[in-house]
């Protein structure tokens, strides 16, 4: 099977590209893993790390442990896996280099937010939120015009929306808690 879309020539200035599910699946099948592997590894590791933090929070009476565990699992882990899954589901795969940059930005942002929260430094939380927001904006732009699987696209955009709305809320809470 040829993994390229079929191209039909029309009049000299017209080019029609026909992409079927089979050709799209073949295109995605060869590139998707290399593009999302950093986010999958780091997201999965964050979920495991959050579980470990939760396990030691009680015995050590770590006051912020439950927050750190929840942040690691939900934001650094599950949200990151959701971002990666959305890229694959819509065929809006960036190059492997862009995938690595998104993973690095997301995880730098998560680490900065955690450090800022533990250090009671709202400015660090705010600066850590910038790369998170950048990844969300890039992901939203990449999902524009997607008509394939409309319900899945709606859920993906809802995830992006919830995460985007939670950023200023988290920054405000960091300042209030200070």
Number of residues in the chain? 178
Count: domains in the chain: 1
Indicate the DSSP class of residue 17: E
CB 132 within 8 A of CB 174: no
Q: Which residue has the higher pLDDT, 178 or 123?
A: 123
CB atoms within 10 A of CB 137: 12
Task: Tell me how far apart the alpha carbons of residues 24 and 20 are, in angstroms, rounded to a whole number.
Answer: 6
Asked whether residue 169 is assigned to any structural domain, the reply reads yes
Supply the pTM of this predicted model: 0.80
CB 42 within 8 A of CB 81: no
Q: What percent of the chain has pLDDT over 90?
A: 58
Average pLDDT, the chain: 84
Asked whether residue 1 is assigned to any structural domain, the reply reads no
Q: Which residue has the higher pLDDT, 61 or 147?
A: 61
Asked whether residue 156 is assigned to any structural domain, the reply reads yes
Q: Which domain holds residue 154?
A: 32-177
CA 39 to chain centroid: 7
**pLDDT tens digits, one per residue of 95-153:** 788 888 999 999 999 999 999 999 999 999 999 999 999 999 999 888 887 767 788 88
Asked whether residue 154 is assigned to any structural domain, the reply reads yes
Asked whether residue 127 is assigned to any structural domain, the reply reads yes
């Amino acid at each position: 099977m040829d993994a390229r879309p079929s191209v039909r020539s029309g009049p000299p200035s017209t080019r029609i590209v026909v992409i079927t599910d089979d050709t799209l699946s073949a295109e995605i099948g060869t590139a998707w893993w290399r593009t999302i592997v950093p986010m999958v590894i780091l997201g999965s590791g964050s979920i495991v790390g959050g579980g470990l933090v939760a396990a030691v929070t009680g015995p050590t009476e770590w006051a912020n442990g439950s927050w750190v565990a929840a942040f690691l699992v939900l934001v650094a882990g599950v949200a990151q896996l959701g971002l990666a899954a959305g890229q694959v589901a819509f065929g809006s795969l960036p190059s492997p280099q862009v995938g690595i940059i998104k993973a690095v930005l997301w995880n730098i942002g998560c680490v900065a937010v955690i450090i800022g929260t533990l250090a009671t430094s709202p400015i660090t939380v705010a600066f850590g939120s910038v790369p998170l927001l950048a990844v969300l904006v890039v992901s939203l732009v990449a999902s524009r015009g997607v008509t394939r699987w409309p319900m899945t696209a709606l859920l993906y955009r809802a995830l992006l929306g919830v995460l985007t709305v939670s950023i200023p809320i988290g920054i405000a809470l960091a300042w209030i808690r200070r």
